[in-house]
């Protein structure tokens, strides 16, 4: 029971941060949840992300760049298909290493401070990476977040959210086809639902009171240490 309470607390914080700063549900929650309740990664967490990104996309729909979103969805689908192919051939030990490596890659991209120009090519590259990392780990926001970091906060949330609505949907379908997801994952998602809704609701009260820069750094630090732990420490 204490583990379940802790899982709920982590999900509430992650969902709240996702709504406030544009990422956090995957990059913050996945490392902890993999140790506490590994069956939540990746499929139930992808479903959690699908719900929260749908809510954010609806809220910020006026800021969506339809042209760039089309490019990113195309690239994201390529990333999802590559991830599905990889997942067919990895066992639990290999998946642990894959998860750790992807978390380090995501954290590293977030730390670079590089601001690439938003073009069709950069969009395709970032979306392919996000689609791959998002499907294998449910924490794929870093490459696309890096691409959109110079935009205003609402535009970031709108375009990342609508991208991940489609990519999370394709991702969960890919995991179902490859046998990495089943009906039990849907039941686990439903058990997580109250925490996600509470986190979403809480974001309305803390939206202007969070130090975004410090919070981003903390999430990246957690993801980095978690990635290293997954690679070098046996579960």
Per-residue pLDDT tens digits for 119-163? 999 999 999 999 999 999 888 888 888 888 777 878 888 999 999
Query: What's the pLDDT at 43?
Result: 95
Query: What's the pLDDT at 2?
Result: 60
- Which residue ranges of the chain lie beneath pLDDT 50? 1
Return the C-alpha torsion angle 112, 115, 120, 124, nearest 10: 20
Question: Under a CB-based contact definition with an 8 Å cutoff, are residues 168 and 19 in contact?
Answer: no
Q: Is the dihedral of CA 5, 6, 11, 14 positive or negative?
A: positive
Query: What's the pLDDT at 1?
Result: 46
């Amino acid at each position: 029971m204490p583990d379940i309470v802790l899982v709920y607390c982590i999900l509430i914080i992650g969902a709240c941060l996702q709504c406030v700063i544009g990422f956090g549900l995957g990059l913050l929650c996945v490392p902890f949840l993999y140790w506490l309740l590994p069956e939540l990664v990746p499929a139930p967490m992808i479903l959690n992300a699908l719900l929260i990104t749908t809510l954010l996309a609806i809220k910020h729909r006026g800021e969506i760049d339809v042209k760039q979103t089309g490019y990113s969805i195309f690239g994201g689908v390529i990333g999802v298909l590559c991830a599905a192919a990889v997942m067919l051939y990895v066992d639990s030990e290999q998946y642990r290493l894959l998860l750790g490596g992807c978390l380090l890659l995501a954290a590293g991209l977030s730390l670079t401070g590089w601001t690439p120009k938003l073009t069709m090519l950069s969009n395709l590259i970032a979306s392919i990476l996000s689609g791959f990392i998002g499907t294998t780990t449910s924490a794929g926001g870093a490459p696309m977040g890096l691409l959109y970091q110079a935009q205003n906060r609402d535009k970031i949330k709108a375009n990342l959210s609508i991208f991940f609505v489609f990519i999370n949907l394709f991702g969960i379908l890919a995991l179902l086809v490859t046998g990495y997801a089943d009906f039990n994952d849907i039941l686990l998602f439903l058990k997580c639902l109250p925490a996600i809704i509470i986190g979403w609701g809480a974001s309305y009260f803390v939206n202007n009171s969070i130090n975004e820069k410090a919070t981003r750094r903390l999430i990246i630090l957690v993801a980095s240490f978690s990635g290293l732990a997954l690679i070098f420490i046996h579960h």
